[in-house]
Structure 1
């Protein structure tokens, strides 16, 4: 290598190498995105784009490009997405990140019966899928996921006044956060 005139004669710091790899991954991702966008723009009145869609089959037209948010799904798709989310939570999140529940760090073993918990964990899972793929996020993705997604999510879900506040070991309360009946100022009590 030292005999090659095109190769500089100095040591590359590890951090710089990782930054370069991250930049390469980002350039690759952006190049693919630009190609996708420009291919659609170059189509003459949408003919080429329509031909590509016809070649891909009608199923591709009905499928979203990115996974939709779980609360927007209808029952068959919702059930499949929830099943996959449960697999990830029970297989990755619980054993890897959740310590023993306590009064200050709640966790309900029936978390999937709390809609707000499902919503937050699904968003966390979507971010995890994106940020743990080195092809799209480089080497810093997992760090970003921990800092920007996992930590804030757990701060919202696990406090003693969070969505699982009424759940303790062996007890489960699904409707502990539902508001009670509030008398309306517009209605009058019948005499």
Structure 2
């Protein structure tokens, strides 16, 4: 960065240039890590998709070509069962042993959580966020902190709280409270009714 002087001869701000160069080096290193990770992820099979990058295993595309994550409420049949198995592996293998404390009257947990469909939806959303935010190539190294603060804590407060889906469950007893709401008018229900 040249700065004019009284004599008309520009001087260089070496400190500023050195800082700019270091910033560019850091950005380049981060981009290299991201590209390497993306190349590795594209070539490697995953637990969710053991066959690798087969086009059939990717979520369906919308009309504009955008792919959405396979949220569990949108799946049916074998896709639903496969996603439930993967979710159960994560909940039982990562979430329960690593994050949950002992259940209590103020912080309930049901060992039959998979029978509480509203809990399944919340846990699936939590798992999707975990998959994204624990990948340093995507989120850097603050992703887990963001997941814990923005996703885990609010989700667990709702699930394990006194009004959550496990409210009727105790250590020795399991109870699914079915609170089915009335039908809410919507564009979908109007189309189903032939309106």
Residue 24 of structure 1, CA deviation: 3.1
The 1:166/1:146 distance shift into structure 2, 3 A limit, reads same
Spell out, residue by residue over 1:58-101, the C-alpha distance to the aligned partner (whole angstroms, 9 max, x if none). 73787454431101100210100000000000011001111111
Tell me the SS of whatever aligns to 2:141: coil
Equivalent of 2:174, from 165, 172, 175? 172
Give the length in aligned residue pairs: 140
Distance 1:74 1:131, change over 3 A: same
Stretches of structure 2 lacking an aligned partner (at least 5 in a row):
1-13, 39-52, 62-66, 183-195
Give the Å deviation of 1:161: 1.9
Q: How far apart in 1 are the matches of 2:134 and 2:81?
A: 24
* Residues in 2 aligned to 1:67 and 1:151: alpha-carbon distance in whole angstroms: 22
Q: Give the TM-score of the pair, scaled to structure 1.
A: 0.62
For 1:128, the equivalent position in structure 2 comes to 130
Question: Once superposed, which parts of structure 1, at least 4 consecutive aligned residues long, lie more than 3 Å away?
Answer: 56-66
- State the partner residue of 1:184: none
Equivalent in the alignment of 1:36 = none
Give, in whole Å, the separation in 2 of the partners of 1:150 and 1:139.
Answer: 17
| Unpaired runs of at least 5, structure 1 | 1-6, 33-55, 182-191
Q: Relative to structure 1, is the Cα distance of residues 24 and 151 closer, same or farther in structure 2, using a 3 angstrom cutoff?
A: same
Q: Which residue of 2 aligns with 1:109?
A: 111
Greater RCO, CA 8 A, separation 6+: 1
- 8 Å contact kept, 1:108–1:172: yes
**What is the CA–CA distance in structure 2 between the aligned matches of 1:102 and 1:57, rounded to whole Å?**
45
* Counterpart for residue 40 of structure 1: none
Deviations 1:137-158 (A, max 9, x none): 1111011000100001001100
- Secondary structure in 2 aligned to 1:102? coil
Q: Cα distance, 1:28 vs. partner?
A: 5.2
Aligned partners of 2:119 and 2:54: how far apart in 1?
Answer: 36
- Name the counterpart of 1:82: 84
Q: Deviations over 1:6-44 (max 9, x none)?
A: x97xxx9xxx99xx57x935x958xx9xxxxxxxxxxxx
- The question of 1:24 aligning with 2:30 is answered yes
Q: Say if 1:57 and 1:100 are closer, same or farther in 2 by CA, change over 3 A.
A: closer
What do you get for the CA RMSD once the two structures are aligned? Answer: 3.5
